[in-house]
Structure 1
Amino acid sequence: MLRPLIALLSLLLLLSGCGEVVTSSTKDARILLMGDSMMAANRAAGRSVAQGIERQLGEEVIDRSVYAARMIYILPISGAAGLSIPAQQQKGNWDWVVMNGGGNDLVFGCICGRCDGMVDRLISADATAGAIPALVSRIRKTGAKVVWAGYLRNPGLFTPIRSCKVYGDELDRRLARLDARDPGMIFLPMSDVVPTGDPSLHQADMVHPSPKGSAAIATRIAAAIRANGG
């Protein structure tokens, strides 16, 4: 189990990049997107989550998401590469910061087994402490609202990280508590997006979203932004 995960991590590190950088030509953008491969998937084809949000809202989204990014970053590679989700935050006049994270911490941090301690490090049971509440609080202090997207599930289908489900479900429950504590933070679960037995919203690896999956995620996020002041 460990060797395939290490090989997968190495491949994802090769695929990782810094994401889109805020420049003088993008300084008026209102939406920043941060996160891991759920957000970064399908970018080269022009069909990532950020690109879907852009099409639906008709405005630019600065996409800083990176494959293999983690909330709790301990590897000796510079966080400036974007592999640290908190390090993806950039200064800007953001009205919205859209993000996800925590999945790679469960996959690579505890191999989706005996991950109770990792979940606690990400977000405590009462949602008052941990890496996720700390990042949300930091962003909220800038005046931006936060949309946190949960992870897709693939009910009725095989997935190589199926043992993560119990911890992913607990992560969702705690994120919902964080949502309840802060009116400027919106948690959007994605656990009900994929119909039972439908493989079309995932790539062949049954982990990353397909273009159809990215579009479904983008639709839910864009709707939440519109419903909360645009």
Structure 2
Amino acid sequence: MLKKLIVFGAVMAALASCQESVSRNESARILAIGDSLMTWNSTLGKSVPHVIEKELKEPVVDRAVSGAWMTTRNNGGDGKGFSIPYQYVEGDWDWVVINGGGNDLLFGCGCGKCDGVIDEMISEDGTTGQIPEFLRRVRDDGARVLYFGYLRSPGLLTPIEHCKNDGNELETRLVRFATEEEGVIFATMADVVPKGGLSYFSPDLIHPSRKSSRKIGQRLAEIITFYDTREEFPADEGQLDLIAEQPAPVLAFQEE
């Protein structure tokens, strides 16, 4: 067990050190922060931020870290990098692309009795909690916020089927927040994976394959392009029905 913890700590430290430096990308107007759904396939140059870069033909600063939680917490040292709000760096951003919350559910409450963990992240009515507070701060700094949800696994048996209800509840609250909040968009990914879509996942049946990272990145790039020419974000309440109809969400998972 001790050996596993040492190896795990080394892996997480290495991943954290791979965060892009803002100073090296001073021309970038898009910042990406989040967990392993964002970072997966990055070593191949095929992660979600890489796809956004390719689609928009412009740089994206990627400061996401695998294993990151949305809630801020004391996880040794200053904890920065492992809590998504600490990944955020103020800048002249037009867009901040964000995902997160899955690790909080899986490791914070085991996708069991998660009411308290979900409430800490975002209230039932979507108005208060660490996520609304953080997203408002990013928005008030001058950026548009694009928060995207997790994949689903219809027709597949994954290691985290028990996370279905809590994942759906979290995303339902996020939709409520984005529907009422100016300058914030929630993009569902609940319809990306077709029934039995095994090729949409890595071998662990948890993380996205390159195909899924590509589809997520393309969707986000389309949203950015669409709203770059608009001042307002029309609400898409239909996402609530889409989320409710989907089976278990595939949540970002800490590597072991």
Q: Does the aligned pair in 2 maintain the 1:95–1:144 contact within 8 Å? A: yes
SS in structure 1 opposite 2:199? helix
**Does the 8 A contact of 1:36 with 1:100 survive in 2?**
yes
Structure 2 SS opposite 1:212: helix
Deviation track 1:12-59 (CA, whole Å, cap 9, x = no partner) reads 635532411111x41121000000000010001000000000000010
Deviations 1:45-98 (A, max 9, x none): 000000000000010000000010001133224323x11100000121000000
The CA deviation at 1:182 is 1.4
Worse-matched range after superposition: 65-74 or 139-148: 65-74
Q: How many residues align?
A: 223
- Work out whether residues 68 and 104 of structure 1, in 8 Å CA contact, stay in contact via their aligned partners in 2: yes
Corresponding residue of 2:163: 164
Encode CA deviations 1:94-141: one digit per residue, 9 max, x unaligned.
000000010000011001111111111111011111111011011011
The sequence identity of aligned pairs, in percent, is 46
Please tell me whether residue 123 in structure 1 is matched to residue 102 in structure 2.
Answer: no
Structure 1 spans left out of the alignment, 5+ residues:
none
Question: Tell me, what secondary structure is at the counterpart of 1:62?
Answer: strand
Q: Secondary structure of 2:147's match?
A: strand
> What does residue 74 of structure 1 align with?
74
Residue 15 and residue 108 in structure 1: after superposition, are their counterparts in 2 closer, same or farther (change >3 A)? farther
TM-score by length of structure 2 reads 0.83
Counterpart contact for 2:90–2:141, Cα < 8 Å? no
Unaligned runs of 5+ in 2: 230-256
Q: Distance in 2 between matches of 1:74 and 1:116?
A: 21
C-alpha root-mean-square deviation of aligned residues, in Å?
A: 1.7
Runs of 4+ that moved beyond 6 A: none
The aligned residue for residue 41 of structure 1 is 40
The structure-2 alpha-carbon separation of the partners of 1:96 and 1:196, relative to structure 1 and needing over 3 Å to count, comes to same
**Where does residue 10 of structure 1 map in the other structure?**
8
Please tell me the residue identity of whatever aligns with 1:170: E
Length-normalised TM-score, structure 1: 0.92
